Structure 1
Amino acid sequence: MTLMHKFLGAAATVALSAGVAMAEPGLIIDLGGKFDKSFNESAYTGAQRWVEETGGDYMETELQSEAQREQTMRRMAERGANPVVVLGFANASTLEKVAPDYPETNFTIVDSVVDQPNVQSIVFSEHEGSYLVGMLAGMASDTGTVSFVGGMDVPLIRKFACGYVQGVKAVDPEIEVIQNMTGTTPSAWNDPVKGGELTRAQISQGSDVVYAAAGGTGVGVLQTAADEGIYSIGVDSNQNYLHPGSVLTSMVKRVDNAVYDAFQSAAEGKFETGVQVLDLESEGVAYAVDEHNEALITDEMSAAVEEAKQKIISGEIEVHDYTATDSCPVE
């Protein structure tokens, strides 16, 4: 082999390895907007944290309509993004179809399970975190009535609601829990006006604590609760700061960690497909206490919830998962 051939071979090897190393991850922000102060924003925050800590870069697209799901996913894969991270259960059927067409591309879906060899599925034990904030709602209520506002009426959101009801009833089986969903289409994730209307109706029925699991719609729920002088409970991101002294707590779902870990594991060559469940034990879900709400959480409330948390982790308390049976044992 001539010196020139050796040089070209080495250059090709370097170029090839550089090409592998330079593959950027991609993030597809779901409907409802990047700055929904909830689910999508948590994902964006995780991606930004990865950029700040590693100096890496990533591709990003924000969905504007249902019709864009497949085209956006394919375009991201064809641009060379790896892994491609998609957010929300609504992407599951599309990813089932798209993933096999790009076997060299890894995908991560947050909030659903897609059984393909190149897909990492990340799901959360939302029912466990919702149980804990339900306990806090039950202990904070003076009227004996609390409520729940969901976004789109789907099993995942009923999983939040069912966990919440179980936590409330663990405090006092006599407490009434009013439940309303915002709608049956994706627009239900981004309708703060409707969220506010539902909250006012619940307040008129006696609710003095409302839990919102509704994406951007929840911003209207929390605003109305603050305006009307009742407590609210935020979701996904820590929303305590939005109305200090009014937001009792937030059921934090670490979508940010899921995105960060997908990006970082790929960068390190340690990306693993299959299903990952982020639960209370792994701190995938939690209730938030900070300077904005610590005055609202008494020592008694904290002790009760921490005890329940440990019992859930140990298996002594089993919180029913709505999605396992499409039903809730308590209403």
Structure 2
Amino acid sequence: MQRLALAALSVLSLLSLGTAEGASLNVGLAFDLGGRTDRGFNQAAYEGAKRAVTESGGTLQLAEPLKLSEVGQGIAGLAQTGSGLVIGVGFSNNGAISAAAKANPAAKFVTVDDLPTGPNTVGLRFREHEGSFLAGYLAGKQSATGRLGFIGGLNIPVINRFKSGFVAGVKFACPNCQVRSAYVGTTSEAFNNPKAAQSLAAAMMKNSVDIIYAAAGASGNGLIEQVRLQPCIRAVNLVRGAAFRSDAYQNLPKSAAYQKSCAGNSRPTFFIGVDVNQNALGDFDKQVGTLNHGLTSMLKRVDTAVYSVIRDVAQDLPWRAGDRSFGLSNGGVSLAFDQYNQALIPAAVRANLKAVEGLITSGAVTVPAK
């Protein structure tokens, strides 16, 4: 039976999850802003850690920051309470991970999305640009206006990999398409500011952007909310120079609310989710058979990466310090296909996506990372 115990760690939330008496593996997991229920990056790490710890019979301690100044504060405490493996989620935790690794050479430390220093550290990093290229290719093929959008949390290398891959994918599918981009903020709080992301999405839609991809953590929820509030673009509102190229979803069943608010010459708007499968969040009427507004999600398998490193330590496999890279070739990134977007992506487009993926993994197409 699982047992839950709550303890206080300064102003952070520390949760201990145990599955076996005398468990040998004690894992500490420190989140970035947004926490384990952000429906994205942090949550994926939590799910992977929970699965690995449950299978191994170990324990899991969680440190959750409530504000930006608390990010990284729980890492030293996790190491001091006996965690033999401490994982920091996000680049903002990397400094604290590197410092704790130096102070605790007998323990092992991991940063998700950055490369810490020290022989007892590992960086779990992703080729986000590869999966984002596929997302851009799909958006370029399916856009009714030829105008796409990208919202990043922060102007940093990891987010720019998302952007670069997406823009390149759009251009590969549709050389004449345009891509507008914007960033939510200038600090890590940009990953937990849905209102700011919603404002950026609204501005893009005013410029006839009909598909927007966000790589902004919990801020991406603001994009989803804007698509819910503005589920279509009307012909009368198209900006100068914009025109509808197609009506790919003309015959797809639509909710009564959509038909009422989008009557006449209009085209639906879509978001592309990130990190975890967010397709279902675009099912605004809770009817899977009607038009869904989540075109797809670019899965960044943080859960798989975190699971694998914990499993390796639990099985006492040789420690391989340094960079561990995850991309299309090893299942580290992919697009999400399910019942929510099945009707949105024609079989021919899906086949083309598979072919493009093969071009990337074979090296025939090089995806820019910046």
The answer to whether the 8 Å contact 2:29/2:87 transfers is yes
Distance change >3 Å, CA 167–CA 264, structure 1 → 2: same
> Which residue of structure 1 aligns with residue 286 of structure 2?
none
Higher deviation after alignment, 282-291 or 260-269: 260-269
Partners of 1:50 and 1:99 lie apart in 2 by: 22
TM-score, structure 2 as length reference: 0.79
> Which residue of structure 2 aligns with residue 248 of structure 1?
295
Partners of 2:105 and 2:71 lie apart in 1 by: 19
The answer on 1:84 being equivalent to 2:132 is: no
Structure ranking higher on relative contact order (CA contacts 8 Å, 6+ apart):
1
Q: Which of 152, 155, 178 in structure 1 is aligned with 2:157?
A: 155
Higher deviation after alignment, 25-34 or 309-318: 25-34
> Which residue of structure 2 aligns with residue 268 of structure 1?
315
SS at match of 2:175: coil
Any unmatched runs of 5+ in structure 2?
1-20, 232-268, 284-291
Aligned residues between the structures: 305
> Which residue of structure 2 aligns with residue 219 of structure 1?
221
Q: Which of 236, 257, 267 in structure 1 is aligned with 2:304?
A: 257
Higher deviation after alignment, 153-162 or 68-77: 68-77
TM superposition shift of 1:20: 9.6
**Alpha-carbon deviations, 1:176-232, whole Å to 9, x = none?**
001010000111111111111111110000101000111111011012113312011
SS at match of 1:34: helix
The answer on 1:49 being equivalent to 2:51 is: yes
TM superposition shift of 1:303: 1.2
The answer to whether the 8 Å contact 1:108/1:121 transfers is yes
Q: Which runs of 4+ in 1 moved over 4 A?
A: none
SS at match of 1:27: strand
> Which residue of structure 2 aligns with residue 309 of structure 1?
357
> Which residue of structure 1 aligns with residue 107 of structure 2?
105
**Alpha-carbon deviations, 1:279-300, whole Å to 9, x = none?**
1011100000011111111112
Partners of 1:282 and 1:64 lie apart in 2 by: 34
SS at match of 1:216: helix
Partners of 2:227 and 2:339 lie apart in 1 by: 19
Partners of 2:346 and 2:228 lie apart in 1 by: 20
The 5 A counterparts of 1:111-190 are 111-190=113-192
TM superposition shift of 1:67: 3.4
> Which residue of structure 2 aligns with residue 60 of structure 1?
62
Partners of 2:72 and 2:216 lie apart in 1 by: 24
SS at match of 1:148: strand
Identity level (%) = 37
Q: Which of 298, 319, 338 in structure 2 is aligned with 1:290?
A: 338
Q: Which of 67, 72, 93 in structure 1 is aligned with 2:74?
A: 72
Partners of 1:104 and 1:21 lie apart in 2 by: 18
- Structure richer in helix, relative to its length: 1
| CA-atom RMSD in angstroms | 1.7
> Which residue of structure 2 aligns with residue 12 of structure 1?
none
Partners of 2:110 and 2:345 lie apart in 1 by: 36
